[in-house]
Chain A
Amino acid sequence: MSEFKSGFFVGGEACEGRVLVVDDEPDIRRVVKMTLQKAGYEVIEAENGEKAIEVINSGENRLLLDVVICDIRMPKINGAEAVAYFRSNYPRVPLIVLTGFPDTDMATSFLRQGVVDYLVKPVEGEKLRASVARAIEQRELARL
């Protein structure tokens, strides 16, 4: 098996990377997916932290996931708990927090934990795509 990395091919189309969107609101998953797919990303979804952990631990996601975009206020395992889990178990996967509630203390604490970006809804498509691209770039640099 060859080494997996970003820029692989899915169904003959160029894929910029695989992004996991964790949000309890289907509306949010829908538009984030719409926004990122346009830029060539493959998007998978999870409706809460618990599902997100299931998804990242299943099959090829363990290796293929490039970025996680995570909400904070969610049922089951909330965003803060999910972030802590991802940071300790998958430190190589960059995390972007996308929240409806701007909170400076929380933002500082997340960035200290190694979260690469803290975005407040509503976020423009361009900004979201730039944030994801930057996260993947940093990840690639870290691999070198």
Chain B
Amino acid sequence: MEQSDRTKVAILGAGRGGRALLDLLHHIPSIEIVGVADRNPAAPGLQRARELQVPVTTSVPGLIGNHDVSLILDVTGDPEMETYLHAHKPPASNILSGSASRLLWKLIQHESKLEAELLQSEKLAGIGSFAAGIAHDINNPLQLILGLAENLAEERDLTAVHEQARDIIEAVKRTSAICRDLTRYSRRASPHEDVPVFVNGKLDEALKIARYASSFHDIEMVKQYQLGAAVKGNPDELLHVLVNLITNAVHAMQRGGGTLTIETTAHDGQVDVRISDTGCGIAPDTIHEIFEPFFTTKDPGKGTGLGLYNVKTIVNKMHGTIAVDSRINQGTTFTLTFPNAEPVGQGSLP
């Protein structure tokens, strides 16, 4: 898109509303955010703007005067600001303030609520397919526990009694870990602020969950982790992304097995996460549709068609990108690229 075609937007107010607007508008290619202003230099929206390399200022006149701003979004909630803007705005620019900007804020809140609902329902639909894996992983230790306990009732050798009692305790711990992992995964993503997340740890957690969703038999695992690779985001949502991609990779190799390669690299202020399989691949005529909502190649009732759509939504929310490379019957690689968790441009801040 030509630079001149883009709508130039200034955001006034960098509290929660300003920050949400910034996050939303930042993804829209036809919008250029020329700056964010707030009297408070520590406002959360200003911090986010710095991460996104959007200019920040504490001076409203400077922001609206120095650019040919076409739209001023006033989310300060300050009635005097509204009066000031109407008196001083550049002639060609429009103002959204007062009740109109409050309505916009409400719509944004509503959208983010819907997005969270969509994510949760897709996650819960997916957990249905865990039944076989969970049953397997709970009933096997139960068989061990029952068998050993039956034996203990008659066992006379004290050494054997001690050994088997220890084995029972270990088996119980393993079984309770399954429930802990799954309840942690199935709960709604906690709405906490973005935090730095170590990717390698999340990948290992995702691998544990993905084992319930699909059989890892005949699948060779290759892990190449860069130590300390960290990204910024919601840890629960990132886990969901990784479980989704790993499960897809394993499903693609369900016939005949293959190799699952998981790789993390950090370079030039970014972190790459690569998940590759040697499975069936994605047909070239559908590859451009895979991130669309409700697109699925599974049988009716088997897939929600929301998996990769939600993956992309979360990755974008984390200011990352997702790319796919696939060859029929050779395999697929998904590459996620995120900004490094170190705040961008930190060196130039006071």
Interface residues of A (CB under 8 A from B): 24-25, 27-28, 30-32, 34-35, 38, 73-76, 78, 100-103, 120-125
Question: Which one, B137, B145, B217, B218, contacts A122 given CB within 8 A?
Answer: B145
Number of residues from B at the complex interface, CB < 8 A: 22
The 19 listed contacts between A and B (C-beta, < 8 Å) are A27-B143, A30-B144, A30-B147, A31-B147, A31-B151, A32-B147, A34-B151, A35-B150, A35-B151, A74-B217, A76-B217, A76-B218, A100-B137, A100-B138, A102-B135, A103-B132, A122-B142, A122-B146, A125-B147
Interface string of B195-239 (1 = CB under 8 A from A): 000000000000000000001011000000000000000000000
Q: Determine whether the beta carbon of B147 is less than 8 Å from that of A34.
A: yes
Q: Determine whether the beta carbon of B136 is less than 8 Å from that of A101.
A: yes
User: 5 shortest A-B CB distances, which residue pairs?
Assistant: A31-B147, A75-B217, A100-B139, A122-B142, A121-B139
Docked CA distance A73–B137 (Å):
11
Contacts of A102 in B (CB 8 A): 135
Q: Determine whether the beta carbon of A123 is less than 8 Å from that of B150.
A: no
Question: Which one, A30, A73, A122, contacts B215 given CB within 8 A?
Answer: A73
B330 CB within 8 Å of chain A: no
Docked CA distance A78–B146 (Å):
25
Docked CA distance A6–B131 (Å):
39
Question: Which one, B140, B148, B215, B218, contacts A121 given CB within 8 A?
Answer: B140
Contacts of A35 in B (CB 8 A): 147, 150-151
Contacts of A30 in B (CB 8 A): 144, 147
What's the nearest-Cβ distance from chain A to residue B334, in Å?
Answer: 25
- Knowing that A27-B140, A100-B135, A100-B138 are A-B contacts, what are 6 other residue pairs whose CB atoms are under 8 Å apart, sorted by A's residue number? A27-B171, A30-B144, A31-B143, A76-B218, A78-B217, A123-B146
Docked CA distance A28–B146 (Å):
11
Question: Which one, B132, B142, B146, contacts A73 given CB within 8 A?
Answer: B132
